[in-house]
């Protein structure tokens, strides 16, 4: 009888053991860029509970080494790492580069010796500030960006830089018993894919933070449009969208699980836009203060002389004032909810946003958390 009970116990326990051993999917990444713009941070300004990662923007590159960009950065990084007391699984990363800080990347990546020096400085930086990883925001390999130096060799050297970073990070992680994350901020346009080797790059990085916004910019585009559309509106002259970009990155070899979909916490605004189709896909001119943060949009524009419209093809909201002839493309909780559903349906790695202080109320971050919460196991460790 005892033998029979023992056998039954083993049989009944087997499925439980096998389920426990089966790897569970990681909860979605929610990565927020914090960009204090030379200002001093206080812990009380930031609620870390809705994020799994904070990317501090930006570190600088001087003489081939990664260094703090501003006097306040050191203290700010200490303020951020202290937030782990409120959210112990929060990961704090440093982002290096950015639109106006990528001038040195082409030189840094050019030779094995230069790459090694930069990587060593990056590791020293992470250790010095007790950080969890590095976000490489090279805007953009092989392209001029903000007037930056660029070379045809950038395409291959970008791959090598990340490969060598990963090798050192793996070595350091084993010694420190703490995984160091390596991520990139990627441009959401075809030329970015043409000038990078994403199938190889993705092997070295934990996630690709896809900047799926700025598809339309008033200073660049003479026609208005959705600057962060989820899907492509057939009437869109440029035929761009986050979905089209995700599919392009997947076709280039990036697994869906490594793609973190970016959303903007700011708008894009045009003036002198005729009252046709409520201003959507119409000619316009750049408007003053043409990148208003969401907090300003909600406080001074939404229901303040502007009417909200919804592009059902793109799943994108926009505002238009016929009296002022001003058109604004932006993100709101409804469009974020649609993107969250898309992330879950397509099994993407999560969502990221630029940037935290553009939404002082926390409404948009709350919408991201709400949209992704259903798949969160409660362990925000990615």
Q: Is residue 326 part of a domain?
A: no
Q: Is residue 47 part of a domain?
A: yes
Q: Is residue 20 part of a domain?
A: no
Q: Is the confidence at residue 378, as pLDDT, over 50?
A: no
Question: Where does the pLDDT of residue 222 fall: very low under 50, low under 70, confident under 90, or very high at 90 and above?
Answer: very high
Q: What is the pTM of this model?
A: 0.92
- Among 352, 318, 362, 315, which Cα is nearest to 337's? 315
Q: Check if the beta carbon of residue 10 is closer than 8 Å to that of residue 3.
A: no
Q: Is residue 286 part of a domain?
A: no
Q: Is residue 219 part of a domain?
A: yes
The pLDDT, as a whole number, for residue 22 is 53
Question: Where does the pLDDT of residue 381 fall: very low under 50, low under 70, confident under 90, or very high at 90 and above?
Answer: very low
Q: Which whole-number Å values give the CA distances from 252 to 62, 187, 193, 235, 382, in the listed order?
A: 33, 14, 8, 26, 24
Q: Is the confidence at residue 1, as pLDDT, over 90?
A: no
Question: Where does the pLDDT of residue 26 fall: very low under 50, low under 70, confident under 90, or very high at 90 and above?
Answer: confident
The residues carrying an active-site annotation are: 139
Q: Is the confidence at residue 40, as pLDDT, over 60?
A: yes
Q: For residues 87-101, give the mean pLDDT.
A: 97
Q: What is the pLDDT of residues 160-210, one digit of tens each?
A: 999 999 999 999 999 989 999 999 999 999 999 999 999 999 999 999 999
Q: Is residue 299 part of a domain?
A: no
The pLDDT, as a whole number, for residue 258 is 98
DSSP β-bridge partners for residue 367? none
Q: Is residue 284 part of a domain?
A: no
Q: Check if the beta carbon of residue 200 is closer than 8 Å to that of residue 159.
A: yes
Domain limits for position 141: 27-264+332-375
Q: Is residue 144 part of a domain?
A: yes
Q: What is the pLDDT of residues 306-318, one digit of tens each?
A: 999 999 999 999 9
- Among 267, 264, 247, which Cα is nearest to 256's? 247
Domains contained in the chain, number: 1
Higher pLDDT among residues 182 and 375, named by residue: 182
Higher pLDDT among residues 15 and 160, named by residue: 160
The pLDDT, as a whole number, for residue 18 is 45
For the chain, percent of residues with pLDDT exceeding 70: 91
Q: CATH number for the domain including 355?
A: 3.20.20.80
Q: H-helix or E-strand containing 276?
A: none
Q: What is the pLDDT of residues 48-75, one digit of tens each?
A: 999 999 999 999 999 999 999 999 999 9
């Amino acid at each position: 009888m005892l033998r029979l009970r023992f056998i039954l116990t083993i049989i009944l326990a087997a499925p439980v053991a096998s389920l426990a051993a089966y790897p569970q999917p990681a909860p979605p990444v929610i990565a927020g860029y914090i960009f204090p713009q030379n200002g001093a941070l206080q812990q009380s300004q930031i609620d870390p509970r809705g994020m799994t990662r904070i990317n501090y923007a930006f570190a600088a590159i001087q003489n081939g080494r990664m260094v703090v960009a501003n006097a306040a950065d050191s203290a700010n990084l200490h303020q951020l790492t202290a937030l782990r007391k409120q959210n112990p699984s929060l990961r704090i990363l440093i982002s290096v580069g950015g639109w106006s800080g990528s001038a040195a990347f082409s030189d840094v990546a050019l030779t094995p010796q230069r790459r090694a020096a930069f990587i060593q400085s990056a590791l020293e930086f992470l250790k010095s500030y007790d950080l969890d990883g590095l976000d490489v925001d090279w805007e953009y390999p092989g392209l001029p960006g903000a007037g930056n130096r660029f070379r045809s060799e950038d395409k291959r050297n970008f791959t090598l830089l990340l490969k060598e970073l990963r090798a050192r990070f793996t070595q350091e992680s084993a010694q420190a018993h703490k995984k160091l994350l390596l991520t990139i901020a990627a441009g959401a346009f075809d030329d970015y894919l043409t000038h990078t080797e994403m199938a190889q790059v993705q092997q070295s990085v934990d996630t690709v933070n896809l900047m799926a916004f700025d598809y339309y910019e008033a200073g660049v585009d003479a026609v208005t449009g959705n600057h962060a559309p989820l899907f492509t509106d057939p009437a869109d002259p440029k035929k761009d969208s986050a979905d089209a970009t995700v599919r392009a990155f997947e076709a280039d070899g990036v697994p869906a699980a490594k793609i973190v979909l970016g959303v903007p916490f700011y708008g894009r605004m045009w003036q002198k836009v005729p009252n046709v189709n409520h201003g959507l896909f119409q000619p316009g001119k750049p408007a003053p203060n043409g990148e208003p943060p969401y907090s300003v949009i909600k406080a001074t524009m939404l229901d303040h002389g502007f009417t909200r419209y919804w592009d059902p093809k793109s799943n994108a909201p926009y505002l238009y004032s016929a009296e002022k002839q001003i058109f604004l493309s932006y993100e709101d909780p409804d469009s974020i909810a649609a993107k969250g559903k898309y992330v879950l349906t397509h099994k993407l790695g999560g969502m990221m946003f630029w940037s935290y202080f553009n939404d002082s109320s926390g409404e948009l971050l709350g919408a991201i958390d709400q949209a992704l919460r259903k798949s969160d196991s409660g362990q925000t460790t990615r």
